[in-house]
Amino acid sequence: MYEHNALLPNLFRTEYQKLVAVLSYRFGIQHLAIAEDIVSDTFLAATEDWSLKGIPQNPTAWLYTVAKNKARNYFKRNTLFEQKVSPEFRYTNAQAEETMEIDLSTKHIADSQLAMIFTVCHPSISKESQVALALNLLCGFGIQEIADAFLTNKEVIYKRINRAKEKLREMAIRIEQPNATQIADRLDIVLTTLYLLFSEGYYSASQDRTLRQDLCTEAIRLTYLLVENPNTNQPAVNALLALMCFHSSRFDARTNENGEIILYANQDESQWNQQLIEQGKYYLNKAATGDELTKYHLEAGIAFWHTQKEDLKEKWENILQLYDHLIKLTYSPIIAMNRAFALSKVYGNEKAIAVAEALKLTDNHFYYTLLGNLYAGIDKQKAYAHFQTALQLAHSENDKVLIQKNMEALV
């Protein structure tokens, strides 16, 4: 029973969105709700069947077979579909054949998901709704997880997703492979979606876990779909994939056996995944074409230098220069704080303190943690006070443990 309970949530995360994408691609956006119901029923059937009969030899194939059969049965017995809806989906690659064949090959799943990515990022709906819907449909995010990623409440996200679905149905948007114009118009929001997915996995507030490798792996897989398609294989996409590879390479070194965070300076370099680092270099080199410099290029460059463990001035000078470009291109409090830390490595803590204090991010525990670390070698009393404030503001248990260790080191 335990094995079955552990397996299904993982399969739901990885396979639910694939099945929804294929069925929606096959039958049209107007039947998105039906596709979701069919796939949900499939997982419900798995819960019931596997608890009685045990896990099948190939659980993924079992899910695909059951979903395919449920979809066939639904549309075959639905009179309204046969009489009125059938002509509406003749544009799909299956061309509404009478056999109702559903292609669940690896290539077709990839094509379906690529088409779905660009459909949910249609310009007729707001960017916030586009990202929320894509995270829900393509990445298997729950409403609470999306709300945490957007720092808002569940009701707001629920309304965004429902409005987006309704808009796509009203406009009868076709789920199809994107053309050059659609790629140019929508690629930025697609990359934003994948970036948010990876970030939610890398540091998840919703489940009080710092690393969720399943989400990061899913983000990498979807980004790889864009790289593999010649029409979407663009420099910014390669830069984002490089960024993901560099960050993922340090997964095993970032937490100890108790799940507590290990700071970068204390990580065991032998646990870094050199294969992922090399892949990151490969995609970063592929990104170095054209004349567009995106935030993904800059962040990937910063992540690359963090795979070079030697604490050399040249390394931090390069990181600081990249942060200088990044903060001009797209400001955020996190970028500003990270730049201040890099500044301390190049010009010393006193100069970094002046820059950091000017940020006045008084509701952010990372801000006070940064100040605590910068003051640690200058004024232990001020450092301790900043760590105390950080501890009061922190929500994650991992963050609290880390802050307390910093405080103990001062005594």
Classified as helix, coil or strand, 35 is helix
At 113-158, the pLDDT tens digits run: 999 999 988 888 888 888 888 888 888 778 887 887 676 889 999 9
| Cα 321 from Cα 346, distance rounded (Å) | 11
pLDDT at 97: 45
pLDDT at 277: 97
Tell me what the pLDDT averaged over the chain comes to.
87
Residue 229 pLDDT greater than 70, yes or no:
yes
Residue 198 pLDDT greater than 50, yes or no:
yes
Tell me the sheet residues that pair with 209.
204
Find the mean pLDDT for residues 66-76: 87
The pLDDT confidence band at residue 278, using thresholds 50, 70 and 90, is very high
Instruction: Give the DSSP per-residue string, 197-231.
Output: HHHHHHSBTTTTBS--HHHHHHHHHHHHHHHHSTT
pLDDT at 134: 84
Find the largest Cα–Cα distance for the chain.
78
**R_g of the chain, CA atoms, integer Å:** 24
pLDDT at 310: 81
CB 23 within 8 A of CB 33: no
Q: Does 19 or 78 have the greater pLDDT score?
A: 19
At 1-35, the pLDDT tens digits run: 445 566 888 888 789 889 999 999 988 888 888 99
Classified as helix, coil or strand, 358 is coil
| Residue whose C-alpha is closest to residue 286's, from 245, 335, 333 | 245
Q: CA end-to-end span of the chain, whole Å?
A: 49
Which domains, ranges and CATH numbers included, belong to the chain? 336-411 (1.25.40.10)
Q: Which of 117-131, 203-217, 287-301, 311-325 has the lowest mean pLDDT?
A: 203-217
CB 11 within 8 A of CB 56: no
Tell me the sheet residues that pair with 395.
none
Q: Tell me the two tokens of residue 174.
A: 């076709």
The pLDDT confidence band at residue 207, using thresholds 50, 70 and 90, is low
> What is this structure's pTM?
0.83
pLDDT at 217: 85
Tell me the sheet residues that pair with 204.
209
At 37-65, the pLDDT tens digits run: 999 999 999 999 998 999 999 999 999 99
CB 113 within 8 A of CB 105: no
Residue 109 pLDDT greater than 50, yes or no:
yes
Residue 344 pLDDT greater than 70, yes or no:
yes
Classified as helix, coil or strand, 395 is coil
| Cα 95 from Cα 93, distance rounded (Å) | 5
Classified as helix, coil or strand, 255 is strand
pLDDT at 1: 45
Contacts of 206 (CB under 8 A, 6+ apart): 144, 145, 147, 148, 149, 200
| Residue whose C-alpha is closest to residue 332's, from 361, 358, 354 | 361
- Which amino acid belongs to residue 114? L
Residue 247 pLDDT greater than 50, yes or no:
yes
Dihedral sign for Cα atoms in the order 37, 38, 42, 43: negative
Find the mean pLDDT for residues 149-174: 88
At 82-96, the pLDDT tens digits run: 555 555 544 444 444
